[in-house]
Amino acid sequence: MSSERGGPRSVDVLIIGAGPTGLTAAEAFVADGASVAIVECTARVGGLARSATVAGNEIDLGGHRLLSATPNQRRAWLDFARRLGGVPMTDIGRRSGILRDGYVVAYPFDTQQFRASVPWPVRARGAASLAAWKLRGLTGRDDHNLDEWVKNRYGPFLAETFMAPHARKVFGVDPREIPAGWAAQRILSPGFASVLATAIPKPGRSGRQADVIDRFFYPQGGVGVLWSGLAELLGNQVDWLFDSRITSITRPVGGRLAVTLTGPDGDVEMSCDRIVSTGRPEDLAVSLGLDDLGAAIAQRSGRRDLIVGVVHVRDCPQSWHGYQWLYTHDTGIRAHRFNNYGEWQSLHCPFGVIGLEYTVPTGDTFDVAATALKDMSILLPGGAVDFLGSEVATDAYANFDASADQLGLLDEALRGFGDGIISTGRQGAGIYINLDQAMRLGVRVAGMPAQHSGVVGRDEYSPYQEKVG
């Protein structure tokens, strides 16, 4: 970073956010010969995909994984691991489920596992509900939102028993406020007959484990090692500004972008030709003086923090084995899901170390230890459970497309402001992008013309799982 005659410190490109997208963009800019500074509001890299250590146990907040369903995905991750010095990667199968009343339902839905594991009255009621729903809508029903999408494929009973509670717990909104496109990314669409067939009586329950839905790579030590490795690779080619935030962006007449940021050493003045913001769009709006727009984006986004309470269960039920995630919707349980860290194979966690996940409006707090122990007392009455600690991922969830109109206004404002300011828009629109897509987005914005301004990536719904063919 240079400074001329005591003036503002100067770089070619200023990147806001040291997550996968920001770090990948930085690497691309550096490779092109640009000088780069990264402003990160926390003290570490990785963003929402960072790892943490709790009581000596490695955990990943949210349980990120590296999708490897296609040859291109597999090749990209293996090449990346090699570039970082040979990060060991494990190839494992994905299994997740919904824990209800002691039994586990595979998620995504597996009709054979459902029939083998779920009590017959539940299966029969689900099939009857779907049949009645179809009969009442013989002319067809539209999929406007998550609620309609699930009911049209599973019926109201299964939707309300297994799907809707997740949306309410995690995102704090009614499923009718989440677009159908979100469901299409994440939930399998079974045939009508296959759901009805689950009601066929079957003596006893085997508790059959779900088949592996897909495979993914997982690095030894958690996904955070990738971003710390990339940061180390960038090293002093980048100016790192941790625990810092942008407070204002202006453009003197005919001049470069003038940026003020605040950090551990107070305010810092900088100048640059380009800004790539991978952080919260509302923060970028406010730094440009668009306070009302920033407030509107924040209000519509409905941001929520992810709080992970880590416990050790001394004797886990056999039905939990083999599942990396279990969603928990039983009455009285506040956690929406738990990560079964011992099943991740590449984390240094014994079986029985579990991360109970809670979402709260950003900035809210609660007694995590007491809540986690209470939840475990419902899940495992009389079980021996120790609380180990907790971690927080700020702004981990947003209200999906609720802020789409406001992001359109931000896009117009950035274009009107002048050349060289890009917002990736990822969190504001709530677009789910896998980590490989986040990195491709970083490469994409770095390759855009220097004069480009606007919100990039906000309309790019993509399949939750990329499949061959």
Which stretch, 74-88, 424-438, 452-466, has highest mean pLDDT?
74-88
pLDDT digits (tens, 9 = 90+) for 408-440: 999 999 999 999 999 986 543 344 567 888 898
Give me 98's structure tokens: 């919904």
Amino acid 463: pLDDT: 46
What's CA 465's distance to the chain center, in Å? 14
Can you tell me whether residue 90 is helix, strand or coil?
strand
What percent of the chain has a predicted confidence (pLDDT) above 90? 46
- 164 assigned to some structural domain: yes
Please list the residues that pair with 386 across neighbouring strands.
Answer: 312
Give me 436's structure tokens: 């490989």
Round the average pLDDT of the chain to a whole number and report it: 86
Same domain, 262 and 292: yes
Instruction: Report whether 288 contacts 269 (CB < 8 A).
Output: no
DSSP letter, residue 160: I
Please state, in angstroms and as integers, the Cα–Cα distance from residue 336 to each residue in 100, 167, 303, 307, following that order: 12, 9, 16, 11
Domain boundary (352, 382, 397) is at 397
Same domain, 406 and 294: yes
Q: What is the mean pLDDT of residues 184-209?
A: 74
Same domain, 325 and 356: yes
Kind of pairing between the strands at 266-272 and 9-10: parallel
Give me 169's structure tokens: 């717990």
What is the CATH number for 368?
Answer: 3.90.660
User: What is the rounded distance in angstroms from the CA atom of residue 32 to the CA atom of residue 16?
Assistant: 19
DSSP letter, residue 88: -
Tell me the pLDDT band of 294, cut-offs 50, 70 and 90. Answer: very high
pLDDT at 6 over 50: no
Give me 435's structure tokens: 């980590």
pLDDT at 96 over 60: yes
Same domain, 9 and 134: no
Instruction: Report whether 159 contacts 174 (CB < 8 A).
Output: no
Give me 388's structure tokens: 């180990």
User: What is the rounded distance in angstroms from the CA atom of residue 206 to the CA atom of residue 222?
Assistant: 33
Same domain, 180 and 318: no
User: What is the rounded distance in angstroms from the CA atom of residue 416 to the CA atom of residue 321?
Assistant: 55
Please list the residues that pair with 338 across neighbouring strands.
Answer: 326, 356
Instruction: Report whether 275 contacts 453 (CB < 8 A).
Output: no
Q: What is the mean pLDDT of residues 336-352?
A: 87
Same domain, 293 and 369: no
Q: What is the mean pLDDT of residues 68-82?
A: 89
Same domain, 412 and 294: yes
Same domain, 273 and 320: no
Domain boundary (379, 397, 415) is at 397
Strands of the sheet with 304-313, listed across from one edge: 103-106, 96-100, 325-328, 337-340, 353-361, 304-313, 385-397
**DSSP track, 358-424:** EEEETT----HHHHHHHHHHHHSTT--EEEEEEEEEEEEE--GGGGHHHHHHHHHHHHHH-SSEEE-
Same domain, 28 and 169: no
Amino acid 2: pLDDT: 56
Amino acid 21: pLDDT: 93
Can you tell me whether residue 101 is helix, strand or coil?
coil
Write the burial class of residue 231 (CB in 10 Å: 0-12 exposed, 13-18 middle, 19+ buried).
buried
Considering only residues 61 and 449, tell me which one the structure prediction assigns the higher pLDDT. 449
Instruction: Report whether 162 contacts 329 (CB < 8 A).
Output: yes
Tell me the pLDDT band of 282, cut-offs 50, 70 and 90. Answer: very high
Tell me the pLDDT band of 255, cut-offs 50, 70 and 90. Answer: confident
User: What is the rounded distance in angstroms from the CA atom of residue 21 to the CA atom of residue 422?
Assistant: 12
Amino acid 357: pLDDT: 93
User: What is the rounded distance in angstroms from the CA atom of residue 228 to the CA atom of residue 291?
Assistant: 34
Query: Please, which residues have CB within 8 angstroms of residue 466's CB and are 6 or more apart in sequence?
Result: 67, 69, 70, 73, 434
Same domain, 379 and 415: no
- 176 assigned to some structural domain: yes
Same domain, 118 and 186: yes
pTM: 0.85
Amino acid 234: pLDDT: 97
Using the structure block, give the residue that is written with the tokens 């981990």: 396
Tell me the pLDDT band of 248, cut-offs 50, 70 and 90. Answer: very high
User: What is the rounded distance in angstroms from the CA atom of residue 49 to the CA atom of residue 53?
Assistant: 14
> Which residue in 362, 341, 303 sits closest to 63, CA to CA?
341
Structural domain boundaries enclosing 168: 111-197
- 362 assigned to some structural domain: yes
Amino acid 173: pLDDT: 77
What is the CATH number for 442?
Answer: 3.50.50.60
Tell me the pLDDT band of 457, cut-offs 50, 70 and 90. Answer: confident
Same domain, 85 and 138: no
Considering only residues 199 and 443, tell me which one the structure prediction assigns the higher pLDDT. 443
The CA-CA-CA angle for residues 67, 182, 105, to 5°, reads 70
- 186 assigned to some structural domain: yes
Overall number of domains in the chain: 3
- 104 assigned to some structural domain: no
pLDDT at 210 over 70: no
Please state, in angstroms and as integers, the Cα–Cα distance from residue 395 to each residue in 177, 275, 360, following that order: 19, 22, 10
